[in-house]
Chains A and B, each alone.
Chain A
Amino acid sequence: MAGLCLGTLAPLLGRAGGGGLGPADWAALRFTLVQAALSAGASVVLAVPVARALARRRFPGRSALVTLLGAPFILPVIVAVLGLLAVFGRGGLLNDGLRALGWPPVSIYGLQGVVLAHVFLNLPLATRLILQGWLDIPAERFRLAATLNAPVWAVLERPMLRQVVPGAVAAIFALCLTSFSVALILGGGPAATTVELAIYQAIRFEADFAGAAQLALLQYALCGGAALLAVALTRGPVLGAGLGRAVERWDAGGLGARVADALWIGAAALFLLLPLGLIVLRGIGGLDDLPGEAWGATGRSLLVALGATALSVGLALALALRGGALAQVAGALPLAASSLVLGTGLLLVLRPFVGLGAVALPVTALADALMALPFALRSLAPALAEVEARHGRLAESLGIVGVARLGIVVLPLLRPALGFAGGLAAALSMGNLGVIALFAGQGQGTLPLLMAQLMGAYRMEAAAGVGLVILLLALGLFWAFDRGGRLDAAAR
């Protein structure tokens, strides 16, 4: 594991030119940091009132909405961007409305678009993290505050936010640093290029491998630092369940508070649902326009996704079984090495020996697997610890050890966690546009790459059709794996 993640550093170090960073590189670094900071800040600031409203209101559809907040994690980024274009793009709903009113149109391209897309993708995560914070406040404290007539905001909520918010900001900041697809479609140009995008351009358009290596090193340091910060500041599991209940409160009965909460929830739901709905609508229309390559791309995408799933879950299981601090560090390393950086390293290693086209799909699967690994490990490690705590001694006393232990006890009991981890890995890989953009030759693309190419050619209808296929496959794979893991679990 460490070999794969750190090993890619070596060729980068070897190839990085001594020329230092040019002005364009500094601009890319600056833009990367600015957009990530703005995205993280905006996501969390908007998430606080939404989370508070969800924490203290009960209404029909609340649990569906909370479930929906988990969906963007496996929502393919490029599909989300297409949905945003349908609302905020040149010919989108918003500009149609503005035109009808005779006002000037707004542009989604550049910094504001990148930030908008990142807020769309990360507002749900921020809301879930902060909602967890609210629900972690014991109900008795609210009762105590109510009997004392104490200000809930000052004694309960502000201290909680002070604990939760830094971790949420850091996590989203780290995620936004590695954004490639968003910047590829909505950014670009000297004013809005991220480091990841600059790496891609250096390789794809200029064949400047030394420059790309240098940028990749910069990105490595950036993400490593941000990931460390996020891990240090985050408490509790990000994917934790148990957001089902609403806390009973006695301080929020006023009409003003109710209306405000309703507005926040409504606005958030609209902001999340409208683009998704438009993807589905336009996608259905675009299915007729699907280009012939789509079938081959679907097959390749499925191959990559399944390969990445097997690799990711296998590695995560091995790390979880190995346990210890070393395994934890190895499992967190991919957070520092973004899949594009990883791909750049692998590309530099492999280029002298094989045609890039020949290894495009395996390398993509490997990079996707590593990207999903930290999340797979986070799902497996606690489940494994619980199995060992509950059944380890019994297995021991019956002489069930070694491989037999794995087959008889561990794997069957881990199935739900394995299914969830596999579903995450499959969905993430299915929708990921990263390494494949560096490697793929003619007729080798996956669905996300095909979709990006169609969007680049302004064939939006066809792109929407491909987007819908990606969305359905990603959600379908997640559902199939997750369900497969849970099947039969009722009998336990």
Chain B
Amino acid sequence: MLRLDRLELQVGAFRLSADLEVPGGASVAVMGPSGGGKSTLLSAIAGFLAPVSGRVLWDGRDLGPLSPGQRPVGVLFQDNNLFPHLTALQNVALGLRPSLRPRPEERARAEAALARVGLGGLGDRRPAQLSGGQQGRAALARLLVQDRPLVLMDEPFAALGPALKAEMLTLTREVLGARGATLLMVTHDPEDARAIAESVIVVAEGRAAPPVPTEALLADPPPALRAYLG
């Protein structure tokens, strides 16, 4: 279970507060107007941004003292999720151990993960030799081998076309759902939220609200979200 305990964040003059819980294994969309603080919230959970006050807890354990790499958190960014100079296999294997020479068993796990996301046999390619969708799949494969119980995604497939994006979301749900991981995903698109998330955290007006069931929220959005969705 993820708990944000009276969390106060500040970036420059921008402030954001959050006091909420996300049950273990849940898939939650993070929505709200641009500049509302969605990415800021994820940064704090991932450990890139130190809170002014309050705590981030996972299963009761304070994550404050842990660096991003030590947290039980896997991250997928908007872009640059793969190192351009490494092969897909090396990129995936970095989820296991910070080394460019995976041991045989690590290699096998990375290859299995690539096969799981439909990239079997493409492990030797570099990101530039993969399509946008394939790059997204490789990044998913790394999340898979990382095996972190909490996964954060910041509009991960925003650069893909609608059909490809739907495909990637389905794959994400399958892959992470099978592991019982908890997912927080920033998205602009209500359809994404419907497709993948059972509840939504609205981030607006300096506050991240506790999760609300998706259908109920989208059927009757609060004013800030309504203005944004149009």
A interface residue numbers (CB < 8 A to B) = 390-391, 393-394, 396-401, 404-405, 407-409, 412-413, 491-492
Contact = CB atoms under 8 A, between A and B. Distances in A.
A398 B94 contact: yes
A404 B100 CA distance: 9
Nearest to A393: B48
Nearest to A402: B98
A400 B81 contact: no
A396 B129 contact: no
Interface stretch (B29-37, B64-72, B192-200, B211-219): B64-72
A400 B67 contact: no
Interface of B: 46-48, 67-70, 73-75, 77, 80-81, 83-86, 94-95, 98-100, 126, 128-129, 146
Nearest to B71: A397
Q: Which of the listed residues B47, B74, B94, B128 has the most CB atoms from chain A within 10 Å of its own CB?
A: B94
A409 B98 CA distance: 10
B69 A394 contact: no
A400 B86 CA distance: 14
A396 B67 contact: yes
B46 A491 contact: no
Given A397-B73, A398-B95, A399-B98, 9 more contacts: A394-B80, A396-B67, A396-B69, A397-B68, A399-B69, A408-B94, A412-B85, A413-B83, A492-B84
A492 B128 contact: yes
A408 B100 contact: yes
A166 to B, nearest CB: 34
A399 B70 contact: yes
Given A393-B77, A491-B126, A400 B94 contact: yes
Q: Which of the listed residues B73, B75, B83, B129 has the most CB atoms from chain A within 10 Å of its own CB?
A: B83
13 contacts: A396-B48, A396-B68, A397-B46, A397-B75, A398-B98, A399-B67, A399-B98, A400-B69, A401-B98, A404-B99, A405-B98, A407-B100, A491-B126
Nearest to B95: A398
A409 B68 contact: no
Contacts of B67: 396, 399, 401
Contacts of A413: 83-85
A487 to B, nearest CB: 12
B77 A394 contact: yes
Contacts of A394: 75, 77, 80-81, 83
A412 B83 CA distance: 10
A413 B127 CA distance: 14
Contact of B128 (A390, A393, A491): A491
A390 B94 contact: no
A399 B85 CA distance: 18
A396 B49 CA distance: 12
A491 B69 contact: no
Contacts of B80: 390-391, 394
B interface, over-half SS: loop
Contacts of B46: 393, 397
B204 to A, nearest CB: 24
A401 B69 contact: yes
Nearest to B126: A491
Nearest to B139: A394
Contact of A408 (B74, B77, B98, B128): B98
Nearest to A390: B80
Which 10 A-B pairs give the minimum distances between C-beta atoms? A399-B69, A400-B98, A492-B84, A397-B75, A396-B68, A404-B98, A412-B85, A397-B68, A390-B80, A491-B126
B116 to A, nearest CB: 19
Contacts of A404: 98-99
A408 B99 CA distance: 7
Contacts of A396: 47-48, 67-69
B126 A492 contact: yes
B182 to A, nearest CB: 16
A398 B142 CA distance: 10
A401 B47 CA distance: 14
Nearest to A408: B100
A434 to B, nearest CB: 38
A412 B95 CA distance: 19
A409 B74 CA distance: 19
Contacts of B73: 397
Contacts of B47: 396-397
A346 B100 CA distance: 43
A398 B98 CA distance: 7
A408 B146 CA distance: 18
B90 to A, nearest CB: 9
A413 to B, nearest CB: 6
A393 B49 CA distance: 11
B84 to A, nearest CB: 4
Nearest to A398: B94
A412 B100 CA distance: 12
A397 B86 CA distance: 17
Nearest to A413: B85
Contacts of B68: 393, 396-397, 399
A397 B83 contact: no
B98 to A, nearest CB: 4
A356 to B, nearest CB: 46
Given A491-B126, A492-B126, A492-B128, A398 B99 contact: no
B159 to A, nearest CB: 15
Nearest to B129: A491
Given A397-B46, A408-B100, A391 B83 contact: yes
Contacts of A409: 83
Contacts of A398: 69, 94-95, 98, 146
Contacts of A491: 85, 126, 128-129
Q: Which of the listed residues A394, A405, A408 has the most CB atoms from chain B within 10 Å of its own CB?
A: A394
Nearest to B74: A397
A409 B67 CA distance: 18
Nearest to A415: B85
B201 to A, nearest CB: 20
A408 B47 CA distance: 21
A60 B98 CA distance: 50
Nearest to A396: B68
B97 to A, nearest CB: 9
A492 B85 contact: yes
Contacts of A391: 80, 83
Contacts of B83: 391, 394, 408-409, 413
Contacts of B95: 398
Contacts of A401: 67, 69, 98
A403 to B, nearest CB: 10
